[in-house]
Structure 1
């Protein structure tokens, strides 16, 4: 066999191989240029209804989910949506929620609807969630219809009042909560509160209308405070008057006129004043200087010091110092 004959036999095989390669390339290019998703030209609707079509009672809430895919050029008219609160044959629309999400070449609308059943029926009956239309506006207006959905409504009690009486349950008295421990704690708290307020009043009040508050030093303290706050000038006369107030209180507690030499015996008879023995001694020394010394002193300052001393003596008198 010559070389020319061999070449002639190989040439058809080469042509077949080239044609096969060209056809395969054409298919691959066609698949690459063909879009994977068909473009959305008209709105499409998908409805997800409640899972059960029976056993629905009064007061139950039924939820529907409506998913609509529409071209980007179209917009769902929200004013055409079902109105919340609308009623249809004993079924009220109690919730409306709309969400939109842009997709590739179209928009996906998700409409959540909640219906509550208020129908009354003595026997099981077929009821429907209403049908309605969704309107789209834009370059080309369009309308899609959401179909009605039927279900079986089951009454809670079948029959009339006679049947209802048979199904009545006796009343059960609600058990009371044992609050004795709380009342005891509340009573203890109130007792402590009243006692604390009474103690604060007894310690700090200047009045004499409560028992054990109208002592001699308490009265002297009130007189000295009134004297210190008066607008009259503080002279030696005012100073001597202030000293007399305290001397009268000491005499009343001692049962006789008390002098500097009697201080030791006074604190022995009244041990509650023993903590102020040095202050009492200083008072009698200052009193002697004021009565018998001719040197002038700052009467205002002396009266202010006597106010402080009388408060300390009042606290000892009440037993709180």
Structure 2
């Protein structure tokens, strides 16, 4: 069974990477469900839980590991907080654990590769269990062995959030903000900023970015001091959208020092500017019109031409110089 999964997932990774412009979820209806179910197995590696998806509209609360496949699990973060973690060491991993983690990583990587296609990102936005999966992966323990799949999950979120409308109490929205509050990984911070800034970008309803913790705002102010153009652009884009809402401006002013904020923004007014020379034409160029009257040849030149025989008349002879010892 595991050998078949390894074979299938390995080829799915290759196909989604090499032929990602042709590989669509809608052509394979059960593919996304299978990949998500495989990716959810990451829970049993780090916690005493088996995540499962229930599609019964009349289901009760059930166990902690039972996810709502129709509407999404609204209390997924509370359920994750109740989990009992296992003792996992980065330096020493059993072979079975490592093999299982590789399969889970390939499943998430396949979703990530396919999410780069706009049609697939629209398809993923309509999948409630995908949001639960992203929350579960991004809330895994802080260990080196899960950094890779966290980056893949954030890449998926960056492609999906433009097609989502997330309220301030949405679990995925709170999870993305948590990455900006606690993480020190540049890649995670940069991708999370982009994912938050692109929420509902493809809809007329703008994202109000409510409920941003003051610690996130202070971190953004500190990141503006770094000599990192990509990170700086992402921070400025976030602040532009955040301050577009009047209530957010009051929160920002109470969370950071106003003097420092103004000095940073003034300094960044010329960020990315290029020096260019401006040419000003005081008076347009004028060209003299050629006259119709032909100027007469001087008398001495005219006589010299008449005295010269053809074909010597067409050129003037070069004067010669004699040398003597």
TM-score above 0.5, yes or no:
no
Q: TM-score, normalised by structure 1?
A: 0.18
More helix by share: 2
Determine which structure has more spread, i.e. the larger CA radius of gyration: 1
Structure with greater strand share of residues = 1
